[in-house]
Amino acid sequence: MPADEPTITLWRPVGPNELALIRASGMRSFPPRLPEQPIFYPVLSEDYATKIARDWNMPASGEGHVTRFEVKRSFLAHYEVQEAGGRDHREYWIPAADLDAFNAAIVGIIEVIRSFP
């Protein structure tokens, strides 16, 4: 891979359990999906990720976190951006079976940029 391969910045809202697994990976990958989670959905805006972490993850588990990371543009070219309820709610739908390849396309580390409460 060329060192200057273009990337796209994505965000993912996570709860405490998923964050613990991300930390266990050295902040390099997202954990496998559970059987009831057929899709991994990174989002295209920090605002949308913040809304999910604050309004859904935090009430459900007592805390919510926003992660930020870079993914190779060439990998994401195989997927269409989906709108989940409006123009401001855009995300990729990565099938659970493709998550290992997605993780391999992450450039650098996954950062936690915001936490709730």
Nearest to 91 by CA among 71, 109, 105: 71
- The model's confidence at residue 2, banded by pLDDT at 50, 70 and 90, is low
Please check the confidence at residue 4 and state whether its pLDDT lies above 70.
Answer: yes
Q: Thinking of the domain 7-116, which architecture would CATH place it in?
A: Alpha-Beta Barrel (3.20)
Q: Report pLDDT digits (tens) over 9-26.
A: 999 999 999 999 999 999
Residues 31-86: tens digit of each pLDDT? 999 999 999 999 999 999 999 999 999 999 999 999 999 999 999 999 999 999 88
Are 11 and 49 in contact, with CB atoms under 8 Å apart? Answer: yes
Phi, psi (degrees; rounded to nearest 5) at 61: -135, 5
pLDDT at 1 over 90: no
| Rounded Cα–Cα distance for residues 57 and 76 (Å) | 26
